[in-house]
Structures are given as structure tokens and as C-alpha cells.
Amino acid sequence: MSLKLFKYFNVANQFLNSLPAGTTFGQGPFREVRVLVDGKVAGAAFPYAVIFTGGIVPTAWRPITSYGAIDLPTYFLDLTPFIPVLTDGAPHNITLDVASAESDHTINQNWFVSGLLQVQLDSSDKPTAGNITVHEVSDFANSTTTGSVGANGDVNVTVAATRSVRIESDIVAGSGKKTHVVFTQELQYVNLQNYLDNTFIQLVSQNASGQVSSTHNGVQVLQDDFSFPLNINFTITSPDGSNFTATFDHSYERTLLPSPFILGSTIHERQLAGGSFHTASTGNSGTNGTSNNTLTYVDLKGNTFDREVNAFLNNITFDHQGGSLAHSPAVKEPASLSPAQAVVKVRLPGGRTVGG
């Protein structure tokens, strides 16, 4: 009934033909970005599900975009265990690719990846030596696909994946310094899709989460604990599919320490958004765009920042910011709002705020 160019709505290939043509795309919803050194997997990332401006229901993102839409998150892996390979004087290839959970691991088009290699030099110009002592990494994530097709045509599909990485190396720098490196990853992913009422109701519940760690002689140099939950309700409200609504519950929870290059921080962000849209040959239109945003930030230097912003019908209806990094700690609310525009906020135990 509709085409949505977002991977978390892509259905596993084995269930694609159970849906009406044009409902969605195949190759499944799961994607992992792999880093390989000379073809050997050095680590992977289960990326955050970015919703770009205009995604699915454009009115949901006016005037507030989804988190990460303008500045995509960065993922950090430690290639230090591969130093004994990279310093042998021969040419080497560091490769980035993207894989699905399908049997051939291929994906659809329009994935763009880039990398930045950050290096610390030893005080000596003598060559670094060492060896990789442990490399417990599968070529691809372990994945399962299950689902059902009801007699009434309802289709329910679950794709799950896990990734476990453990790489250890003993490294001897030219200066004689010895370093034992332990790099580990434990990543989890699940995506549940429901296509109900002849696909007029389409639901996604997804989460990518995990723990990434690297220690050098027992000292933590990389920590990345993350959870990226996403829930979407996409409902078609007219027989021809030209009218539809969607609601989004989208979070970014991350504690990150990429030492020594970037300051460690903890970010909690949640966005509740939604809206309606109408498509027509004479021009598209949208209504009822709402957005509810809460963000908190704290870093290892003690800097803090928090912000709550709500929007309704293209207007900011509530804006509060605080913390040591805030430019002007204050609550700003419009002087006049109609009852239909009023935002009700309730402070829950633990400090979380719900608006509606």
C-alpha cells in the first residue's frame, strides 16, 4: 500500500511475497557495518536508525528533525590488536562494508560509509612487533528469522541478530613498551514487524544494543554501551492509501569513552513524534505534526546539558534548557496558545517528563 525507504521496514525475503506488491522492500531490516583488515573481521557496528527529514510523515519533523538526522552518530572500534599485522612493512587493506541478515548478506542501494583512522605514535622510530593471540570473530552476525502468515493475511516477522567479538594481541613497541590489548563486543538486535488489516496497519518495534570494550594492559581505553529503541505505528486511513498517519517513539541511549581522542560522555535522548499526511497529484499536504523531545548530556569533565522541546503544527510550544553548557538556562513558552495547542507536561518519578 505504500513505499517507505527506510531499512527498519524492509521485510525478510522469505516473507516478501506474502505482502501485496509495493508494500515494502526485501533484504530484511538488519544491517551491520563491518570493518575488515585484509579481509579479516576486526569489529562491527549495529547502527542507530536515523530518520531523515521528511521521513515517512514529513509533518512529524517540522520544525524539529529526528535525533541524528543532521549529524549522524560515529562508531568507534579499536584496531590496536592488528598493529602487528599493519606494521610488517607490506601493503594492507582496511575495508568497510555493510551486510544484511539474508543468506547472501547483500543489501539494497544507498548506503554510504566512511572511516577515520586515528594513530598514536611511539617515542621510538624502531618498528613495532607483536602477534595476535586470540581472534574469535565470525564472518557475519548470527541471525534468525521467524514469522507467520495468518489466514486473514496478517504477516508477522521477527529478525534477530547477535555479534560476539574477542580479539587479543601482545604488542611490543620500538621503545620496548609492552601492551596486552583485549578488544571485545557483545551486540544484540531485534526487529519485529506486524502487517495487519490488509497492511493498512504497519508496526515496527526494533532495538539495537550492545557493549564494546577495549583495554590496554587492563586500562579501559574504549567503552561504548548503547541502546537504540525505535517503535513506529504507520496506519493508512483511506482505501486508496493516499491518507496515512504515523507515530514514532525513538531513543538514543549511549555511554561512550573513546580515549584518548574524544571526551567520554553519556547521552539520553527520546523523541515522541507523529503526524498525518495526504498525497495527491495536485500536491501533498500534512497536518497534526507533533514532537516531544527530551535530551540529557553529561561528560567526564562534569559538563552537563539538558533540553526539552515540544512542537505542534510547525511551532515550538515549549523549550527548556539547563545545565552548565546551556547558553541561557530558562523556560520559554509562547505568550498565547489556543486550548488545542496547549501542551500538558507531567513530571514522573525519576525526572522523566511526558507531554501530550
Angle at 233 between CA 231 and CA 234, to 5 degrees: 135
Q: Which of 158, 202, 196 is nearest to 15 (CA)?
A: 158
- pLDDT per residue, tens digit, the chain (356 aa), is 344 458 899 999 999 999 999 999 999 999 999 999 999 999 999 999 999 888 889 899 989 999 999 999 999 999 999 999 999 999 999 999 999 999 999 999 888 899 999 998 989 999 999 999 999 999 999 999 999 999 999 999 999 999 999 999 999 999 999 999 999 999 999 999 999 999 999 999 999 999 999 999 999 999 999 999 999 999 999 998 889 999 999 999 999 999 888 899 999 999 999 999 888 888 777 778 999 999 999 999 999 999 999 999 989 999 999 999 998 655 555 533 333 333 333 333 333 333 33
Cβ-Cβ contacts under 8 Å for 326 (sequence gap 6 or more) = 305, 306, 307
E strands, 31-177, are 32-37, 40-45, 94-99, 129-137, 142-149, 155-172
pTM, to two decimals: 0.89
Angle at 354 between CA 327 and CA 210, to 5 degrees: 80
CA trace torsion 348, 245, 65, 67 (10° rounding): 60
